[in-house]
Structure 1
């Protein structure tokens, strides 16, 4: 006899109702989206504008409000492909190594002679010593500064490659260290780009590494590629450097160990500053827009414990001297130190607008990119194109769904109607689950849903055909239905498990559109099996218990 325990019936019905309830907000997409934006603004700022109050009231708080996020091809937005300048990191490493190497060599000045840095290509440090006969000793001293590479592929190798010829020592990063540095730089760049994009309140960006030195950035809902470039393209390298001198000559020689940087506010003014900063933006723990004593826009900042100590010690020892605040190789402010600045907090002043101060604070909070970027490809996708894609995808889904429903009803009669009803529930469950997990729907994702519609009835076809076979073998209606589900189960599981594994491989190895297709396919397979095995069976069992037919036609 056909039997489904009461607890199973309750669980099946509850899961269907819960999934459909989670899918309902997508029918009122704009209203729910504005409601969610208002709640996010309230959590961030603690206050709402009149428009946000109205938007929040547009959807009841007690109802589900999760939505399926729309991808770049459906919502419109910006696409960028950026190349990271990894060579800048090599140069910074060599610049930071020079003071340490100079101190180590200076300790043996009596034997190796005078020590000075000479011009060299970026990413390379060349040091000349006064006594060429002691070059081997000098090389060994510099080698003592090397450290082991901490990676699985770099075991047994040092981070520096050091050689000596004549009276010159040449230092570069070793190949193993370059590989490790490249990976660290790319990971850091990815994380900082992600934090900057997230801080701007965009939805479901795609930020992924491509190749050895490129980053793919796709942000739905942003105005244009130029807006996205302005948000993430600024390196935002902040440092506080000692001022050596001021000049109006842009070609002046700042001296070894110094850099000549332009004033960001006064054209024709240049500062010679020490190339090794006293404190960098890496020590910042907070930055926010503020105003100075004259009411002009500024940015207040706070250092961590290490930065606060270094900043305090330097200001205490250099009262009355100018101090350069450098952002992206421009001096944005050069105040004179009036007194010891303790506590690790201060303010950056300059010729800022309120928006510029807000943007600068955002960039400093997100952190500095470890290297500059060149945008190799940029593309703006308008919302009109996204709307056309949604309309086309929706038409395809509706036509496919209607064709499948007509076929099932025409082929299997009442049982086909049960399968059709389960198919509608299946589509609702797909959207409900994608809303709950915060998945992103792309145009290939819509293709995955259309494919799911076709696949969803496969299990029902197997079951119904098996029931037909059992009826031909003179089985009674109840026994035929029971055997139909039992004997079709192995084929259903086999077909869906293999498809599920294929979709899982696509998700793991794919990127962008491929993953969007894989997500909807995986969710569709899960809901299809559930509706075919349990939901349709519950309908058939309920109908059979109500009608008790003596004969059965499928």
Structure 2
């Protein structure tokens, strides 16, 4: 017990000092005192319930997923039948009522059509996602299964959640909470963001970028009235563009989607001095873009973002290298926002804001004040009880408790974790639970002394025997905390983080540090009896 090597003392004090030092910036922030800029500043982040911020509930429209599946299937069917040898000609294509149907010009091609389309109707694992039926001997009807639609909606929502997370991370915010709610909703909570307008603009933008060829055969009067020729679509020009207030007709199929982008950066066109967005395709997307521009030199193509045309320039020459430039009367801020949206990826489905709340920091300040009061009162009562009951050993337990709370803050600052209101509850709980280890040790030492053990032997046995129960109890609590962290979200995880860190620091301070202090005292004082 008295043999406590110097290297172990240096290690214990060094580790304690380093972690406590990391908690100092958090105390400066809590007291409102300026912290020197020259020094590192690891601080504990405050959650939405403490720092205030923005709460937004997003809801998707699953019908868009089904419509997109129909469009993709139509393009795949057209390509497969066109590439067949010999080609299978079709007409009267319709996507009404959630089904894809078309007429065969040659009814004798029914069996060959079914054979060609069978691979397209099977999903992963050869699961049938589409049903093919023949009506009136010449019309082929493809109907998606409900299970396939539900699976597609789930995948789209998972992808949308990832896109939302990437966009918010681009804002540089700390510890946002982004979780699914139900089948078609996403909850977004961003601490510290008091003005949600930028967040709303970023999340409300689908960022679905498309490059489509302009239909030069469309009649201007029909286009102005929103009437699209067969095989084409009508899109309006975006606000602020030269064509604002007018429409344009583009070919519905055969364009390029922006899902193959690898980069997007805001910039300035050196010739016009306008804000633009420079984009870069991956290898496959670059090849498709080069092929599109090579085959259509001299023709206009429209750059469409979220259903609005940004511009429709002529293709003067093939565009190779996988790079392109988007212009559309951008400001510096709007060009940067569009770059963030394009880099993070397009949302697979539109998200509408159905609920919006801004949480002010006043509530958080009241919660922190109440938590500090509870912590202070609880700490004072625990200190008085420990000192009155165990004397010197109670003083050691009190010192360990103070260091324990400080080390929790230091470790949270090092890990850049977030403190929430339940986390404060975890702090208060840790104060009461932290001294349990010292109570077990001290009571065990009492028992050893009653049995007639000498002072050093009683203390040695007390620490050794009590440590087993302490480790067992903390391991079971750690398992519960790990499960809370793994399966919980938001404030629940905040509580779990404080609980797990508190378990580690409690064992370190209540067992290791107090044992070192007691060993030093016994070695220097060599008391014949102890008051415990």
Settle same-fold status: TM greater than 0.5.
Answer: yes
Q: Report matched runs for 1:188-337 at 5 Å.
A: 188-244=159-215, 245=218, 247=220, 249=223, 251-264=225-238, 265=241, 266-276=243-253, 278-292=255-269, 293-337=271-315
Partner secondary structure for residue 121 of structure 2: coil
Q: RMSD value over aligned CA atoms?
A: 2.6
Equivalences for residues 122-161 of structure 1 within 5 A: 122=98, 124-130=99-105, 135-149=110-124, 155-161=125-131
For 2:78 and 2:175, the matched residues in 1 are separated by: 49
Residue 26 of structure 2 corresponds to 26
- Aligned residue in 2 for 1:46: none
Counterpart position of 1:438: 416
Aligned residues: 524
Residue 259 of structure 1: CA displacement? 1.3
Alignment counterpart, residue 97 of structure 1, candidates 51, 73, 96 = 73
Contact 2:2 2:520 in 1 (8 A): no
Alignment gaps of 5+ in structure 1: 36-57, 150-154
CA-CA distance at 1:416 after TM superposition? 0.6
Cα distance in 1 for partners of 2:219, 2:172 equals 41
* Range with bigger deviation, 421-430 or 126-135: 126-135
Aligned partners of 2:117 and 2:79: how far apart in 1?
10
Shift in Å, 1:132: 5.6
Alignment partners' CA distance in 1, 2:313 and 2:214: 10
TM, length-normalised to structure 2: 0.91
Residue 522 of structure 1 is matched in structure 2 by 500
Deviation of 1:101 after TM superposition, in Å, equals: 1.2
Name the structure, 1 or 2, with higher relative contact order (CA <8 Å, separation 6+).
2
Deviates more, 1:213-222 or 1:137-146: 137-146
CA deviation string 1:429-485 (max 9, x = no partner)? 111211222211101011001100100001111111121222222222212211211
Q: 1:414 to 1:317 in 2, by over 3 A?
A: same
Deviations 1:124-149 (A, max 9, x none): 32223345675455333322433441
Q: Does 1:3 align with 2:3?
A: yes
Q: Deviations over 1:68-116 (max 9, x none)?
A: 2211111111112222333323322221221331243457799976433
Q: 1:5 to 1:162 in 2, by over 3 A?
A: farther
CA distance in 2, matches of 1:256, 1:240: 19
For 1:116, what is the secondary structure of its paired residue? Answer: strand
- Work out the CA distance in 2 between the residues paired with 1:188 and 1:475: 67
Deviations 1:199-249 (A, max 9, x none): 111111112223333222111121234332112220011111001047465
Q: Counterparts of 2:20 and 2:230 in 1: how far apart (Å)?
A: 70
Change (3 A) 1:465 1:31: closer
Question: Does structure 2 conserve the Cα–Cα contact (< 8 Å) formed by 1:405 and 1:420?
Answer: yes
How far is the alpha carbon of 1:26 from its aligned partner?
1.3
Matches within 5 A, 1:9-158: 9-29=9-29, 58-61=36-39, 64-106=40-82, 114-122=90-98, 124-130=99-105, 135-149=110-124, 155-158=125-128
Matches within 5 A, 1:357-376: 357-376=335-354
Distance 2:153 2:199 in 1: 24
Which residue is 1:47 aligned to?
A: none
Distance (whole Å) between structure 1 residues aligned to residue 84 and residue 8 of structure 2 = 83
Question: After the TM superposition, which residues 161-200 of structure 1 pair with which residues of structure 2 at under 5 Å, given as runs?
Answer: 161-166=131-136, 167-175=138-146, 177-200=148-171
Q: TM-score, normalised by structure 1?
A: 0.88
Once the two structures are TM-superposed, the CA of residue 164 in structure 1 deviates from its matched residue by 2.8
> Does the aligned pair in 2 maintain the 1:114–1:130 contact within 8 Å?
yes
Deviation of 1:359 after TM superposition, in Å, equals 1.3
- What CA distance in whole angstroms lies between the structure 1 residues aligned with 2:143 and 2:150? 13
2:409 partner SS: helix
The Cα shift of 1:65 comes to: 2.7
Q: Do the aligned residues in 1 keep the contact of 2:81 with 2:87 (CA within 8 Å)?
A: no
Q: 2:203–2:351: 8 Å Cα contact kept in structure 1?
A: no
Matched with 1:532 is 510
Q: Determine the C-alpha separation between the residues in 2 that align with 1:10 and 1:246.
A: 86
SS in 1 for 2:97: coil
Give 3-state SS (helix, strand or coil) of 2:142's partner. strand
SS of the residue corresponding to residue 351 of structure 1 reads: strand
SS of the residue corresponding to residue 391 of structure 2 reads helix
* Partners of 2:311 and 2:328 within 8 A in 1: yes
1:520 shift after superposition: 0.4
Task: Please tell me whether the aligned partners of residues 246 and 270 of structure 1 are also in contact (alpha carbons under 8 angstroms).
Answer: no
Query: Which residue in 1 is equivalent to 2:433?
Result: 455
2: CA distance, partners of 1:280 / 1:19: 51
8 A Cα contact 2:81 2:89, kept in partner: no
Q: Which deviates more, 134-143 or 516-525?
A: 134-143
Q: Would the aligned equivalents of 2:70 and 2:95 in 1 still touch at CA under 8 Å? A: no
Whole-angstrom CA distance in 2 between matches of 1:498 and 1:32: 39
SS at match of 1:121: helix
Distance 1:137 1:313 in 2: 30
